[in-house]
Structure 1
Amino acid sequence: MHVITTEMKKEFVKWLLNTYQLAQKEHTWLLNYLSSTNEQLEKVHFVDVFEDTHKKRIILHTNCSHKPGHFEFNLNGNILGEPEKTFHNIRRNPEEHVFVKLIYRDKAQSMEWGDICEAYSTPKFTGFEVAAQLILDQSFETFNIMQLQKEIDNALETGDKALFMKLTDQLLHTENKLVKSF
């Protein structure tokens, strides 16, 4: 049996927040709160699939998912879309377990996710699913490149040299990632 410690969960949240951008500061705030104490983290479970017995469910998408910034808190079948209400509910009921499903790019290949995911069964990925994930990842990177190019053009038009340099560095990094994925 795979034992998941509170320290592992804490490290995962730190990794996630350093690697992926969340759409709202409240999402970051909520994840930081959930990982703030060992007692709290013992009640937090990161899962791929919700079970009927999971009374408190959080779905959180990073900006790199198909629903950027989407947030959902399901409390016994009632869906709340507000991180603040979620925070207050969790804070008022610290003895209750919270099940968190995160959606972010490359999750299926993420060793970090594999280390802390409390899966009831390991999902088997078909060749089609792996290919679809690769296409999705490459599409996302191509979209990022196009957005960066537009922002670079705007920086040139406004004469913002610092922004231009920052964006061109990001563009090179993104292009290198895309080339390596082929």
Structure 2
Amino acid sequence: MELETSIKVEDKKTFINWFLGNYQLKKRESVWILNYLMNHDEVLAHVHFVLEARFCPRAMIISTHCSKDIAFRFYKKHIVTTDADKSFHDLRLHNNEPIYIQLNFKNAKRSLEYMKVLEDNPFIPDDYFLSSKDKEHVDEWLNYSIYHFKKQEILNQINNALDNRDEVLFKKYTEKLSKLEKTYKNKYNK
């Protein structure tokens, strides 16, 4: 699954040139890799700059001195290495395969230059950016929505029983409503 991209090779070259001119990388091999990419359009066409590259099947994470992140990491399927030389050889040998690159540098998420070449990462799990508090709120909302739907359904049945002057159904549904409300209040302290 290669990411379709609207980022032009020329724009990627411009970005890499800007990046190398403004940041010092923790590993000198990272400079070689980026220079190689800048000088090989056919390889650069398969490069995708993304966030959270570790989720990608073939990825590189490159960090600058101003970043607290690891200097270099290469992912290929389930293999992870910090050996930039092996990564460079893989890049050259498999130059038609997509490669996803994450760059760690100070204020990266505020860099207009980086944002211009940054693409969505199709391999990030759907719930990756949800915190446990977010998940808790979603669960609460979902439970309330279900409770509210069931309550509305029972109220409609009570109204129908009243309209039809059916005392038996009226009692049945009011008891059902009472149980539903008690269950919800006990379970969610509402």
TM-score interval (norm. to shorter): 0.5 to 0.7
The residue number in structure 1 matching 2:12 is: 9
Structure 2: unaligned runs, 5 residues or longer: 123-128, 130-190
Conservation of the 8 A alpha-carbon contact between 1:49 and 1:119 = no
Q: Secondary structure at the match of 1:72?
A: strand
Bigger radius of gyration among the two:
2
The one-letter code of the counterpart of 1:60 is I
The residue correspondences of 1:110-129 to structure 2 (distance < 5 A) are 110-120=111-121
Q: State how many pairs are aligned.
A: 120
Q: Secondary structure at the match of 1:64?
A: coil
Seq. identity, %: 31
Within the candidate set 27, 32, 38, 2:30 is matched to 27
Q: Secondary structure at the match of 1:87?
A: helix
- Judged with a 3 Å threshold, the aligned counterparts in structure 2 of structure 1 residues 2 and 87 are, in CA distance, closer, same or farther, namely closer
- Judged with a 3 Å threshold, the aligned counterparts in structure 2 of structure 1 residues 120 and 75 are, in CA distance, closer, same or farther, namely closer
The residue number in structure 1 matching 2:83 is: 82
Q: 1:93-145: per-residue Cα shift (whole Å, max 9, x none)?
A: 11111000010001111000110001259xx9xxxxxxxxxxxxxxxxxxxxx
Runs of 4+ in 1 over 6 A off after TM superposition: none
Q: Secondary structure at the match of 1:79?
A: strand
Q: Secondary structure at the match of 2:39?
A: coil
- Judged with a 3 Å threshold, the aligned counterparts in structure 2 of structure 1 residues 36 and 99 are, in CA distance, closer, same or farther, namely same
The residue number in structure 1 matching 2:98 is: 97
- Matches of 2:91 and 2:107, distance apart in 1: 29
The residue number in structure 1 matching 2:140 is: none
- Matches of 2:5 and 2:90, distance apart in 1: 30
Say if 2:62 is the partner of 1:60.
yes
Structure 1: unaligned runs, 5 residues or longer: 125-182
- Matches of 1:97 and 1:104, distance apart in 2: 23
TM-score relative to the length of structure 2: 0.58
TM-score relative to the length of structure 1: 0.61
